[in-house]
Amino acid sequence: MALTQRLEFRQSQSLVMTPQLMQAIKLLQLSNLDLASFVEDELERNPLLDRANENGEPPVPGELAPERAEFSDRDDAASGSGEDAGADGSDFSDRAAGDGFEASAEDWMQRDLGSRAEIEQTLDTGLDNVFSEEPAETAARTAQDAAPTAFTEWGGGSSNDDGYNLEAFVAAEITLGGHLAEQLAVAFTDPKQRLIGQYLVDLVDDAGYLPPDLGDATERLGASAEQVEAVVAVLQKFDPAGVCARNLSECLAIQLRDRDRYDPAMQALVEHLDLLAKRDIGALRRICGVDDEDLADMIGEIRHLDPKPGLKFGTARVQTVVPDVYVRPGPDGGWHVELNSETLPKVLVNQVYYSELSKTIRKDGDKAYFTDCLQNATWLVRALDQRARTILKVSTEIVRQQDGFFTQGVAHLRPLNLKAVADAIQMHESTVSRVTANKYMATNRGIFELKYFFTASIASADGGEAHSAEAVRHHIKQLIDGENPAIILSDDTIVEKLREAGIDIARRTVAKYREAMRIPSSVQRRRDKQSMLGNALTAPATTADRSRDTAPA
């Protein structure tokens, strides 16, 4: 066979990752705060971008209107199946005004820049290279469905490619409220006492103190003052020593009792801390009935106590979560899904400014610069519009799939994965993964991250429908919370009870879920509950002793 050279034409398709396509992929997974920061940078960098309605003026042509969708389960109820109905999107209605911008841009180009040939001559390139002839949704979806190009995109938790985020591997800091809540779970078996205790724990400030007056607590909880005092007495035995006190004197007294150093002389000193602050040593010596040497030792012990025991624990960082999507009950029994318009950046392309510049610019460098700015501004508006549409579409499908959760609670959370949502809305799994990263949904049951609704499936013991892993964890927690302190449930017993409820699960899986919820083993729970039960039984006597030994400060 002879080897010859020849020319051939071959037609092929390939995805070219341009810088704009890569930026579109990152825009999809940015949180609303990161997106707002990115748009602010673009507004400063691009002179052809303007912020819409900055001065409260009426919306100008081309502005993106808020998008919303509605999900109704009336047809599902009629057919007896809420899983298959509406899979083609017939139950959802997208009302978006993104097309208004496209029409406005077309009219502007035809009116001010002349024919297509003149436009291409002005831009010094083909019009197809600047404005794609295919719909914006198809172009953006092609960019979104591309495989992740950086390590951080697979995790979905970072918005840049600067490498490892070491803060993602830092263990969660234990707060005072969480530490007290863990002890509260084993200190009380009576649901009423546990309710009172949880309410009081929520009142504890960062220093570890309760409010001086608990009268409002008795009124809100409908409990008597004696019941609240009994619970407070148990809370004051919690670690760290001195927590849940109502004033400094009581805090120091609790720590001294813990060290077995609360004798009558020390009690008198603690009750007169105002004299100690004034350094009135003579008056303190007479009140305590001790000499100078003993008084100096007592003051030294007071100085070694911790006046703010709660500060040993880290304080929870309060970060306001702004939801990206609102889900509200609809008038027809379904669910109304709407984007939060406050988190959607509203930017417009200043077409008039570019039209004026195109008539006066003579230098090739200036012409190329403003052409690039126009292209970037147009792309950004389209990318933001497509991002909003994609978030709405994914959120609506999640609401449809998890209708049981919104109606009846976490126990009815269905197993769901990215592929199920991606197939339903005809998108790629990577797109759904990016959309659900750093996005939050406000529902009638609280604010949840979109990733919360994706859980693994646990097989059913009777061959029925699988159970969600989150629902199984909730069931395990309910079993442990309701167990009798005299009959602690082992992991094997929990497995048997779950199988009776139709959940087929292994013992090691129960242990893994229990440890993930920071619930101790059955041996540790038996020891803790029996110990705390003994303290609760002796609490009234301890309270009486405290009221006899101390006087109100």
Q: What is the mean pLDDT of each run of 10 residues along the chain (553 residues)?
A: 82 76 81 88 88 53 46 43 38 38 43 58 53 44 47 42 55 79 86 86 89 80 85 90 90 90 89 85 87 88 89 68 89 87 87 84 82 88 89 91 83 81 88 88 87 74 66 84 83 84 82 84 78 54 39 36
**DSSP classification of residue 399:** H
Decide if 378 contacts 347 (C-beta within 8 A). Answer: no
Residue 260, domain member (yes or no): yes
Residue 143 forms part of a structural domain = no
Is 35 part of any domain?
A: no
Q: Is residue 212 part of a domain?
A: yes
**Would 258 be classed as within a structural domain?**
yes
The alpha carbons of the chain give a radius of gyration, in whole angstroms, of 33
- Contact call for residues 103 and 428 (beta carbons, < 8 A): no
- pLDDT at site 65: 43
Tokens representing 103? Answer: 């029409």
Instruction: Compute the CA torsion angle 54, 347, 374, 439 (nearest 10 deg).
Output: 150
Q: For the chain, how many structural domains are there in total?
A: 2
If residue 448 lies in a helix (H) or strand (E), which one and from where to where? strand 446-449
pTM for the full predicted model: 0.49
The distance from CA 504 to its chain's CA centroid, rounded to whole angstroms, is 30
Boundary (domain end) residue, out of 312, 329, 357 = 312
* Any domain includes 110: no
CA distance 537 to 539: 6
**d(C-alpha 21, C-alpha 290), whole Å:** 82
Q: Pairing relation of β-strands 335-339 and 325-329? A: antiparallel
Of 265, 289, 312, the last residue of a domain is 312
What residue numbers bound the domain in which 228 lies?
176-312
CATH of the domain at 476: 1.10.10
**Which of 280, 312, 344 lies at the terminal end of a domain, its last residue?**
312
What pLDDT does residue 252 have? 92
Instruction: Please report, for residues 336, 456, 492, 504, 524, the alpha-carbon distance to residue 497 in angstroms, rounded to integers and kept in the order given.
Output: 37, 20, 9, 10, 21
Three-state secondary-structure class, residue 307: coil
Q: Which residue has the tokens 């805090």?
A: 251
User: Helix 99-112 to helix 351-360 angle, to the nearest 10 degrees?
Assistant: 20
pLDDT recorded at residue 136: 43
| DSSP H or E stretch at residue 481 | helix 469-481
Q: Residue 360's Cα: distance from chain center in Å?
A: 51
Do you know the residue count of the chain? 553
CA dihedral 427, 429, 431, 436 (to 10 degrees): 120
> With b meaning 16 or more CB within 10 Å and e meaning fewer, what string describes 270-305?
bbbbeebeeeeeeebeeebebeeeebeebeeebeeb
Q: What tokens does 125 get?
A: 């390139």
Q: Which of 432, 383, 390 is nearest to 132 (CA)?
A: 383
Report the pLDDT value the prediction gives residue 396, as an integer from 0 to 100. 92
Report in angstroms the alpha-carbon separations of 345 from 52, 90, 441. 9, 29, 18
Let me know if residue 360 belongs to a domain.
no
Dump the DSSP string for 10-22: ---------HHHH
- Inside any domain, residue 474: yes
- Measured CA to CA, the distance from residue 416 to residue 399 in angstroms comes to 11
Rounded Cα distance between 156 and 26, Å, is 10
